[in-house]
Each structure stands twice: as C-alpha cells, then as structure tokens.
Amino acid sequence: MFSYFANPERFQNLAKWLAPILAVLGLLGIVVGFGAGLFLTPADYQQGDAARMIYVHVPAAWLASFAYAFLAVSSLISFVWRHNLADAAAKAAAPLGAAFTFLALLTGALWGKPMWGAYWVWDARLTSMLVLFFLYLGYMAVRSIVPDEARAARLAAITAMVGAVNLPIIKFSVDWWNSLHQPSSVFRADGSAIDWSMLWPLLVAALGYTALFGWLVLVQIQTELDRRKIHRLQRRLAGGRVSRPENPQRNLTND
C-alpha cells in the first residue's frame, strides 16, 4: 500500500479527502481535551491549577519529537531512493515541528516558573529540547541558503538524519542524568502515574495535536508538490521555446 500511495498523483487524491477528516478530528480533540482539562478535571494535589499546563505542554512536547522522527524517516527515504514525495514530506514537517517545539519550550518555561522558581534551568530534558529546536532551524536554514534545490535537499536530509540521535537523548534524559524534570508518567511498565480523570483529557488533546499535525502536513505536501509541478512545467516550456529567426530578405517591390 505504501508503494501505491508513494505516487504523487495517487497521494494527492488520498490527501484531498483525508485532510478534512484530520482537520475535524484535530480541532475536536484539542477543544475537548483543553475544555475537559481546564474545567472538568480536579486540581493537582501538589501543583494545584498550575498543573493544567500539562494539557498544552505535554502534547506539544510529544509532537516535537514525533515530527522530528517523521522528518528523519522522510529524509532517509528521500536520501536513499531520491523520492520526490518523501522530500516534500520532510520539507513540510520541519516548520511544523519547529512550531510545536517552540510551544513546548514556552509552556515548559511558564510551568517551570511556579514549580522551580525560574523560567529556565539547564536541565537535561530542557537542554535537549532546545537542541531539537535548533536542529529544526538548521534544517530549514540549509534548505533556504543553498541555491541548488536538489543539493539543498540532500544536505538537509543529512542534517535531519544526524540530528535524530537527539531523540533518544530527549526520551531518556530524565533517567540518564539528575533532572528537575519529572520522569515518564503516562506510559510506564507498571501503569500510568496519572489518575484517569486527568489522563483521558491529556490523551484526547495529544490525539488532537497529532491529527492537526497530519492535516497541516498533508496540506503543505500538496502545496509543495503543486509548486514543483508548476516549476517543471515552466522549465519545460522555457526549454521548448525556439525563437523564430527573422527573414533577412524582404520583398520591397510592393512597399
């Protein structure tokens, strides 16, 4: 099935009906998750209402890593098989991943102030997330600075693949180093540490974020594929133009 929809035209036909579905699911999940988290769930027994930031922060942090994994895999496919659709997917994911990473850093700082007494500490989890943000910016910078589009795509793909080493560092940073950041509390071998009344809005919000990311990626990929198609047509038309030489002889008898 993957090879079938790897064809850009088939992919665009799929995206045309899938994108609106993901848009509705994303917006619905975010509204329900935020609404329940803000108004229905009880305050945390230690952090109070400040803990409600979890419904914005945790899904954003999840999407920051998920988007980069998507970017790295797409870059790998593009680099090895030179697949146009995979390169378009990687290019579409980068600014979205950067936006989610920035949101995670911002909400983490706002949450950290009342909990730690500071907006920022050089904690392993926070520092690795900041590195992730710079990796997104680096990927986009390579694509915009290098003038040759094909060369820019390959250099950016290498950047994305090398940067993927940061993902396990983000995941296990709280276990490998002493950290102010709380350890994993949603998915654990012995079950979630979060009460169900607070867990289900978090999961709904996370699914909403994921669906929203999927919708935006599909829209961006379609836009990029259309742009490339127009560019190819313009090059083809420019290469096919043959200027007509003017006839050096003119019949002046009838002038």
Question: What per-residue string of b and e applies to 164-193 under the rule 16 or more CB within 10 Å gives b?
Answer: bebbebbeebbeeeeeebeeeeeeeeeeee
d(CA 119, CA 80): 42
User: Residue by residue, what is the 3-state secondary structure of the chain?
Assistant: CHHHHCCHHHHHHHHHHHHHHHHHHHHHHHHHHHHHHHHCCCCECCCEHHHHHHHHHHHHHHHHHHHHHHHHHHHHHHHHHCCHHHHHHHHHHHHHHHHHHHHHHHHHHHHHHHHHCCCCCCCHHHHHHHHHHHHHHHHHHHHHHCCCHHHHHHHHHHHHHHHCCHHHHHHHHHHHCCCCCCCCCCCCCCCCCCCHHHHHHHHHHHHHHHHHHHHHHHHHHHHHHHHHHHHHHHHHHHHHCCCCCCCCCCCCCCC
Find residue 44's DSSP bridge partners. Answer: 48
Inside any domain, residue 244: no
Inside any domain, residue 189: no
d(CA 58, CA 51): 11
30 to 25, 77, 206, 211: CA distances (angstroms)? 8, 31, 8, 10
Q: What is the pLDDT of residues 146-170, one digit of tens each?
A: 999 999 999 999 999 999 999 999 9
CATH of the domain at 103: 1.20.120
Place of tokens 């090879």: 3
Q: What range does the domain containing 211 cover?
A: 15-40+48-183+194-229
Inside any domain, residue 56: yes
Higher pLDDT, 105 or 114: 105
pLDDT band, very low/low/confident/very high, at 87 (cuts 50, 70, 90): very high
229, two tokens: 């198609």
- Residue 179: is its pLDDT beyond 80? no
43-52, 135-144, 197-206, 241-250: which range is least confident on average?
Answer: 241-250
Share of the chain above pLDDT 90, in %: 62
Domain count, the chain: 1
d(CA 160, CA 154): 10
Higher pLDDT, 46 or 202: 202
- Residue 86: is its pLDDT beyond 60? yes
pLDDT band, very low/low/confident/very high, at 49 (cuts 50, 70, 90): confident
User: 203 CB contacts (<8 Å, ≥6 apart)?
Assistant: 33, 186
Inside any domain, residue 81: yes
Find residue 48's DSSP bridge partners. Answer: 44
Inside any domain, residue 130: yes
Inside any domain, residue 247: no
pLDDT for 191: 66
- Residue 248: is its pLDDT beyond 60? no
40-49, 63-72, 92-101, 179-188: which range is least confident on average?
Answer: 179-188
